[in-house]
Structure 1
Amino acid sequence: MAENSKTKKGFRRYTILIVDDDPSIVTLVKQLVDQEKYKVISTDDGESAEAIIRSRCPDLVLLDINIPGKNGLEVCRSMRGDKETQNLPIIILSGRTEQVDRNLGLEFGADDYVTKPFNSQELLLRVNNVLKRVYGSQARNDTLTQGVLKVDFGKHEVRVKNKIVQLTLTEFKLLSSLLDNMGQVKTRDYLMEHVWESGEGVFSRTIDTHIQRLRNKLMDAGKYIETIRGVGYRFKI
Structure 2
Amino acid sequence: MARILIVEDDARMGALVAEGLRDEGYDVEVVDNGVDALIAAANEDFAAAAIDVMLPEMSGFEICRHLRARGSTLPVLLLTARDAVEDRVLGLDSGADDYLIKPFAFVELSARIRALVRRDAAAPKSTLRVAQLELDSATVRASVAGRPLPLSTKEFALLRLLAARLGETLTRDEILGEVWGTTHHIDRNIVDQYVSYLRRKLDPTAAGVQIVTVRGAGYRLIEQS
TM bracket, shorter-chain basis? 0.5 to 0.7
C-alpha change, 1:65 and 1:135, in structure 2 (3 Å) is same
1:1-237 equivalences in 2 (<5 Å) = 13-83=1-71, 85=72, 87-136=73-122, 154-155=124-125
One-letter code of the match for 1:99? V
Distance, in Å, in 2 between the alignment partners of 1:56 and 1:17 is 10
One-letter code of the match for 2:90? L
Moved runs in structure 1, 4+ residues, more than 3 A?
154-157, 163-166
C-alpha change, 1:155 and 1:21, in structure 2 (3 Å) is closer
TM-score (norm 2): 0.54
Structure 1 residue 165, shift from structure 2 partner: 6.2
The answer to whether the Cα contact below 8 Å between 1:47 and 1:69 also exists between their aligned partners in 2 is no
The answer to whether the Cα contact below 8 Å between 2:47 and 2:120 also exists between their aligned partners in 1 is no
C-alpha change, 1:164 and 1:58, in structure 2 (3 Å) is closer
Distance, in Å, in 2 between the alignment partners of 1:23 and 1:129 is 25
User: Quick one: percent identity of the two aligned structures?
Assistant: 34
SS in 2 for 1:32: helix
Give me the CA root mean square deviation.
Answer: 2.0
Question: Which consecutive unaligned segments of at least 5 residues does structure 2 have?
Answer: 128-136, 141-225
Tell me how many residue pairs correspond in the alignment.
131
Distance, in Å, in 1 between the alignment partners of 2:105 and 2:14 is 15
Distance, in Å, in 2 between the alignment partners of 1:25 and 1:102 is 21
Question: Which consecutive unaligned segments of at least 5 residues does structure 1 have?
Answer: 1-12, 140-153, 158-162, 167-237
One-letter code of the match for 1:32? G
Structure 1 residue 41, shift from structure 2 partner: 0.6
Q: Choose 1 or 2 for highest CA Rg.
A: 2
TM-score (norm 1): 0.52
Distance, in Å, in 2 between the alignment partners of 1:68 and 1:34 is 26
